[in-house]
Amino acid sequence: MSSTVHVGLAATVTGGVGASPGRPDGRLKVTGEFAFSSDLWAEDMLWGATLRSPHPRARITSLDLGPALRIPGVYAVLTHEDVPGRRLYGLEHVDQPVLAAGEVRYQGEPIVIVAADHPETARRAVNAIGIGYDVLDPVTDPEAALHEDRAPRVHADRPNLLRHVPIRRGDPQATAAVVVTGEYEVGMQDQAFLGPESGLAVPAEDGGIDLYIATQWLHVDQQQVAACLGMAADKVRLTLAGVGGAFGAREDLSMQVHACLLALRTGRPVKMVYGREESFFGHVHRHPARLRYEHGADADGRLVYVKARILLDGGAYASSSGAVVANAATLGIGPYDVPNVVMDAYGLYTNNPPCGAMRGFGAVQACFAYESQMDKLAAALGLDPVEVRVRNALHTGDRMPTGQLVEGPAPVEELLRLVQSKPPAGQADFPPGGTANTTRGEGVVRGVGYGIGIKNVCFSEGFDDYATARVRLEPVGGRPAVLVHTAAAEVGQGLVTVQAQIVRTELGVDQVTIAPADTAVGSAGSSSASRQTYMTGGAVRAACQAIRSRLLDRIGGRPDGLRLVDGQVLDEAGTVLAKIAELLGDEAIEETVQWRHRPTHPLDPETGQGDAHVQYAFAAHRATVDVDIELGLVKVVEIVTAQDVGKAVNPAAVVGQIHGGTAQGLGLALMEEIQLVDGKVRNPSFTDYLLPTIMDMPPMTVDVLELADPHSPYGLRGVGEPPTISSTPAVVAAIRAATGAALTRVPVRPEHIVGV
Amino acid sequence: MRVTCTVNGTTRTADDVWEGESLLYVLRERLGLPGSKNACEQGECGSCTVYLDGTAVCACLVAAGQAAGRDVRTVEGLAPEGELDPVQQAFLQTGAVQCGFCTPGLIVSVHDLLARVPHPSDPEIREALAGNLCRCTGYEKIMDAVRLAAGSPTEAGTR
């Protein structure tokens, strides 16, 4: 539907920053020729498979590999004893076994890996392994896990409390005229990328290994794989294979070490591809959360205080839980100016599936709760839901609960007014229940709801966050051409397009090639935290600027105001001074730049004060729903959204991110949940884990603001995560408005609406 | 067993096929045609959609033996070498491709829809594509792509 970009400057360079050139990999993707990690093939290749624990908590009492080894076509059967290096890995804490040793802590934990000549042979070998368990009661309640006397330790050597982030601002005893409280719950969401975990490990002649892999961060994989293999990092070379979506789920290792172990043992290439069921056990999920909030406001609806307690279930291993807890805490009262805050966010170990990164990263869970609270406050005061938000909206120059000054644009009020100002939604394409003829309009009620959220961009809390870019300008066939080499993971978001756009704008060269991402160049950091256009984009720009400077040094006198356009050097008046190809002669100019954003700082462990974040991003949603109040079925009729992106480097891709992020938020509101019973996943398939289809998604109207951040490249703001954050509360608020149901848990189920 | 079928107009034979293999596995692993994708392998996501005797099916749900003697057309065979089908062109022009994993299956499904219904309404498009999951786009630009390929006016603004 309509997508408008406000304020922005027109693109001045064809295919440059601000334009929307096509994806360089687009043609391969529509013809089926693009090589995803699961499409890889090598001569003499074997297939890997994994034996996983059926129990959330058990001691392994016996293991008999013989029956598997006796199957013809089986080449290797490996356990933790075959891990030559470090037997544990992890992003923040090295606490997760490559293969379980003696004990399993979640259902699906890998125990044995097998290589065979056919995937079915490998599966049969896995099933033939004899294994005995002493099954133990799992720790599944994060509230109990918080108390040492109420639950055993998940890890014998450490308490179940993974991290506690307290934040204290102002007067903890503040009182207010109007008080609303609420308890909320968020279910465990899955990233559900379509391209399953997969990769190909090829043993190399130098005794090392080459791994072709779909990941979000090649270098953090390299570090961990090398440690577990007991090899020097330069012997473990990773190349990015085609990535079929990521959304956080590829930040942790899955089959990387396993495939390398099997390849090194057999001396043959080993491919591993998870099926969908295994994929549900093969990656971390979004943390389920329990949230308790108390909002106090004066009679005009201005917030006096917020008190909040957030419990995040980290599951069996730490993954990135620590950073998720910090996000939930620091962003946990939303984009509002509140003088007094008492916030406590906790991350716990349990025997549930491990949780870690997913788009929105701690900000999603909190937003559902604080936006539900804002609606409650509006109702208590008889105010319009947008009005109460606007009265408390964060502005530039305000301080976050951490004491951090909001320096860049904070168009909270503007975004809310934008989505509010759109004309009301028309008739839906389908009634609730779709084409199933469950209603002809009787019992169908309409509602409208709002949500706004806040997200940090880039890595926080003093992390040394950088990206590396190697850019080479050279004459090819008498014309200037540029080669860009980074390790940045293209995961679908369009980073390959954006890198070329930046080169065209900075160097005035149309011919740009993006080399395959690999570890032969320095780290680009992760394709997460909405950071890659900012970070790798920033590195590419810096490298281009260094090249530009060296090139222009070759012009006598070096006048001011020179521009590089269409392969030429122009002066201020637009006169052509030289052709870039002539300035280069036969020589190439190459620059490698390691680029960093402004430093951030740790939070004070007692007060949570500190300038922990680089940049804040904001998005608002308005959702309109039709609800069949007899059956509890919901049809989202329309979504209106507005987001400030600072600078739309590629407007079409920006809008695509906003559409897709909004859809994932809608999914969390209405259907997406990994359902657990006693620590076991009940729905590990696309039949039972429901994703929004094209029938579930409504038309979306997108407004994009471009309010430049003075500190970021081109003024841009990370785009990927904010749309996922506020669409969930907007949809739930709309259902509440239609039905009057309290709805304190997402995903909302039909029985919550009809009250049975 | 040996499976012989016509794939994209050419007679192809796969040897040593295990009886439990799907048409999807044979296409991807034995015939060098990995364009059809393996996202769920239980017929829920549509990423492996191919034509079997002119009917769009999920290749993961077709046993390899069932394809013997029949005509299979995959995403690789929609347009002559070096050319794009109008549906493929439309996906590129509208920005309907992000990670691209769902794209081949969606393109075959849209190709099939437009062959049956040259100018579908929006509800018809949604109903026809309800069996194709996409996790990246929220489907908006896929709607634009179908409208464009069908020659219908598209409401999308930003390009």
- The residue in chain A having the minimum alpha-carbon distance to the alpha carbon of residue B143 is A694
pLDDT for residue A529 is more than 60 = yes
Contact A492 B99 (CB under 8 A): yes
On chain B, the residues whose CB falls within 8 A of the CB of A5 are: 158
Domain A10-31+466-596: top CATH class: alpha beta
Average pLDDT estimate for A172-200: 98
Contact B84 A27 (CB under 8 A): yes
Q: Which of B45, B130, B155 sits opposite A1 (nearest CB)?
A: B155
Average pLDDT estimate for B83-107: 98
- The residue in chain A having the minimum alpha-carbon distance to the alpha carbon of residue B48 is A32
pLDDT for residue B107 is more than 50 = yes
Q: Which of A34, A656, A692 sits opposite B100 (nearest CB)?
A: A34
| H or E element, residue A124 | helix A119-128
Put the strands of the sheet holding A466-476 in their side by side order: A512-514, A479-485, A466-476, A589-596
pLDDT for residue A639 is more than 80 = yes
Contact residues, A window 232-261, toward B, CB-based 8 Å cutoff: 242-247
Average pLDDT estimate for A358-368: 98
CB atoms within 10 A of CB A74: 23
How do the domains of chain A map onto residue ranges? 10-31+466-596, 37-136+214-232+239-243+250-270, 289-460+602-754
| H or E element, residue A738 | helix A722-739
pLDDT band, very low/low/confident/very high, at A7 (cuts 50, 70, 90): very low
Q: Shortest Cα distance from A490 to chain B (angstroms)?
A: 8
Q: Shortest Cα distance from B69 to chain A (angstroms)?
A: 24
- Phi and psi torsions of A659, nearest 5°: -60, -50
Alpha carbon distances (Å) from A589 to A144, A417, A481, A501, A552: 61, 49, 11, 19, 12
pLDDT for residue A619 is more than 60 = yes
More confident residue, A441 or A345: A345
Share of chain A above pLDDT 90, in %: 96
DSSP H helical segments within B64-121, as ranges? 86-94, 103-116
Q: What is the mean pLDDT of chain A?
A: 96
Say how far residue B41 (Cα) sits from the centre of its chain: 14
Q: What is the DSSP letter of A80?
A: G
The ipTM estimated for the assembled molecules is 0.96
Contact B139 A697 (CB under 8 A): yes
Q: Where do we find the tokens 């070998």?
A: A125
pLDDT band, very low/low/confident/very high, at B155 (cuts 50, 70, 90): very low
Q: Which of B33, B39, B137 sits opposite A276 (nearest CB)?
A: B39
SS3 B125: helix
The domains spanning A37-136+214-232+239-243+250-270 and A289-460+602-754 adopt the same CATH topology: no
Domains of chain B: 3-77 (3.10.20.30), 86-149 (1.10.150.120)
Q: What is the pLDDT of residue B157?
A: 37
Q: What is the pLDDT of residue B153?
A: 57
Right CATH number for A289-460+602-754 from 3.40.1310.30, 3.30.365.10, 3.30.230.20, 3.50.50.60?
A: 3.30.365.10
Model confidence pLDDT, tens digit, residues A688-699: 999 999 999 999
Model confidence pLDDT, tens digit, residues A532-568: 999 999 999 999 999 999 999 998 877 788 999 999 9
Q: What is the pLDDT of residue A756?
A: 79
Q: What is the pLDDT of residue A4?
A: 54
Q: What is the pLDDT of residue A557?
A: 76
Radius of gyration from C-alpha coordinates of chain B: 16
Q: What is the pLDDT of residue B114?
A: 98
pLDDT for residue A606 is more than 70 = yes
Residue among B91, B132, B135, B141 with most chain A CBs within 10 A, to mutate: B135
CB pairs under 8 A between A and B: 198
Q: What is the pLDDT of residue A436?
A: 87
pLDDT for residue A5 is more than 80 = no
The answer to whether the beta carbons of residues A381 and A301 sit under 8 Å apart is yes
Q: Does A181 touch chain B (CB under 8 A)?
A: no
Task: Give the largest CA-CA distance in chain B.
Answer: 53
The answer to whether the beta carbons of residues A560 and A567 sit under 8 Å apart is no
Q: What is the pLDDT of residue A137?
A: 98
CB atoms within 10 A of CB B23: 30
Domain A37-136+214-232+239-243+250-270: top CATH class: alpha beta
Average pLDDT estimate for A450-465: 98
Q: Shortest Cα distance from A731 to chain B (angstroms)?
A: 15
pTM: 0.97
Average pLDDT estimate for B51-74: 98
More confident residue, B62 or A11: B62
Q: What is the pLDDT of residue A51?
A: 98
Contact A38 B38 (CB under 8 A): yes
A297 beta partners: A178, A303
By residue count, chain B amounts to 159
pLDDT band, very low/low/confident/very high, at B158 (cuts 50, 70, 90): very low
pLDDT for residue A2 is more than 60 = no
Average pLDDT estimate for A412-427: 98
Residue A6 structure tokens: 């406000």
Average pLDDT estimate for A601-630: 98
Q: Which of A25, A191, A245 sits opposite B101 (nearest CB)?
A: A245
Model confidence pLDDT, tens digit, residues A221-235: 999 999 999 999 999
CA atoms of A452 and A619, how far apart (whole Å): 6
Model confidence pLDDT, tens digit, residues A476-501: 999 999 999 999 999 999 999 999 99
